[in-house]
Structure 1
Amino acid sequence: MRLIQINKTYGDKTVLKDVTLDFPIGKVTVLVGPSGSGKSTILRSLNFLVTPESGQYDFNDHQIDFSQSISNKEKLAVRRETGMVFQDYNLFPHKTVLGNIIEGPTQVLKMGKKQAIKVAKELLAKVGLADYGDVYPSELSGGQAQRVAIARALAMKPRYVLLDEPTSALDPELELSVLKVLLQLAHEKQSMVLVTHNMAFAKQIADKIIFVENGEIIYDGDPKKFFSQDNSSKRIKNFIASMTMENLK
């Protein structure tokens, strides 16, 4: 998966400026940066929730020029392989947990209902919610709802899972339950692109760190170097210190 010189504006504001990035298969790429930096816009461009005005998107066999009209067929083909997980879960309130998970496989992948239910139950066990298939979203805690959202994304067998601040709405204890699931997926070599403000988790899970500020890529590389005291960037050091509360000292 690769973005090449993409640009995005909202009115007079340039949100992304000639951004070029690679997202390695089988790895976890973590996007960090201050609020409004453009990191969520990058993530959403990978799923066509945002469409840049220019640049190229190479994904699997798809080569997409953002300056040209993109067909619904192309968008759907990419979306089938990029499962999106939002911070507010986006579960269907009128469907049970099981109903939420089988919706995509049966409607989009045309999987048989019996097989879809089997896959859904396996995924619920994977995220620690084996007994929650008949429960409705309103009966779930935030952490449980987010784990269901992750299971729903995985049910589509995506090449990449895209996660936009998946734990920002959760208290620390509930957040931990979700982070454990994501770490398990990382150990299984599930390709992920993750936007987060949780620096401790980013340090633990990332194979690659991207630091975005004012729509530009300030850092793109090894997490160890990013978090190292030897990092030569004063801006990155100040950002990490602010996010980890070191600046309170």
Structure 2
Amino acid sequence: MKLTNINKTFGNKKVLKNINLDFPTGKTTVLVGPSGSGKSTLLRTLNLLVTPECGQYEFEKQKLDFAKKISNKEKIFLRQKTGMVFQDYNLFPTKTVLGNIIEGPTQVLKEDKTHAITTAQQLLQKVGLADYATAYPHELSGGQAQRVAIARALAMKPKYILLDEPTSALDPELELSVLKVLLQLAREKQSMAIVTHNMVFAKKIADKIIFVENGEILYDGSPTEFFDPNNPNQRIRNFISSMTLEDL
């Protein structure tokens, strides 16, 4: 995935300013920055939940020019290739866990239901919820619901998984259960882009760190350099200190 000269405005506020980024295949790219910096808008652009006014978006052999109208066919292609996981799960409340996971594969990808169920059961095993296939969302903890949401995204066999603050609504113990799943996916070389405020997790999982502030990219590089105590960028050092409570 590659973004070139991306600009997005909401009202009078320019939230993305001439963004140029690439998201390597088989790697985990982590977006960090203060609240309201534009990182979630940037992530949603990758799934076309947000449409910039101008700029280009390259994905595999497809190239979109946001100055022109994006067709439904182009949107469907990209959304099938980029599975989105939100902080509030967005599970279908009237469907079981299994029903939630097979909905996309059977209705969108037109998979055989028996095959979709087998895949869903394998994914539930992967996220540690093999015994919850017949449960409903209201019967799950937040951590369990988020792991179902991840399994549901994986069921669509996306090229990339996009996660917007996937653990921000969870207490630390439940958060850990989700982070372990994401770490395992990273080890399996699943391409991911993650927005998070958890600096410990970011340091552990990231192959690449992007620091966003005021709609601009202030850092795009390795986590080693980003988290280096001698990072020459004072703003980044201050941000890390505030997020990790080092100066408390």
Report the TM-score when normalising by structure 2. Answer: 1.00
Counterpart for residue 88 of structure 1: 88
Q: Which amino acid aligns with 2:44?
A: R
Confirm or deny that 1:189 pairs with 2:182. Answer: no
Alignment-mate amino acid for residue 159 of structure 1: K
Q: Tell me which residue corresponds to 1:165.
A: 165
Q: Distance in 1 between matches of 2:60 and 2:236?
A: 32
Kindly state the Cα deviation for residue 247 of structure 1 after the two structures are TM-superposed: 2.1
Matching residue of 1:39? 39
Q: Which runs of 5+ in 1 are unaligned?
A: none
* Separation in 1, partners of 2:201, 2:89: 20
Deviation at 1:246, TM superposition (A): 1.0
Structure 1 residue 68, shift from structure 2 partner: 0.5
Matches within 5 A, 1:15-34: 15-34=15-34
SS at match of 1:212: strand
Distance 1:10 1:97 in 2: 36
SS class of match (2:247): helix
Structure 1 consecutive aligned stretches of length 4 or more whose deviation exceeds 4 Å: none
SS in structure 2 opposite 1:80? Answer: helix
Tell me if 1:228 matches 2:228: yes
Question: Does residue 204 of the first structure (1) align with residue 204 of the second (2)?
Answer: yes
Deviations 1:162-202 (A, max 9, x none): 00000000000000000000000000000000000000000
Alpha-carbon distance between aligned partners in 2 of 1:142 and 1:61, rounded to the nearest angstrom = 38
Give the aligned length: 248
Give 2:153's aligned residue.
153
TM-score by length of 1: 0.99
Cα offset for 1:133? 0.3
Is 1:142 aligned to residue 142 of structure 2? yes
Q: Give the whole-Å Cα distance in 2 for the aligned partners of 1:134 and 1:72.
A: 34
The residue type equivalent to 1:105 in the other structure is P
Distance 1:37 1:230 in 2: 24
Structure 2 partner of 1:215 = 215
After superposition, residues 35-74 of structure 1 pair within 5 angstroms as 35-74=35-74
In 2, the alpha carbon distance for the partners of 1:114 and 1:219 equals 46
> Using the alignment, how far apart are the partners of 1:48 and 1:103 within structure 2?
21
Following TM superposition, by how much is the alpha carbon of 1:61 offset from its aligned partner in structure 2, in angstroms?
1.5
Q: In structure 2, what is the Cα distance between the partners aligned to 1:229 and 1:91?
A: 41
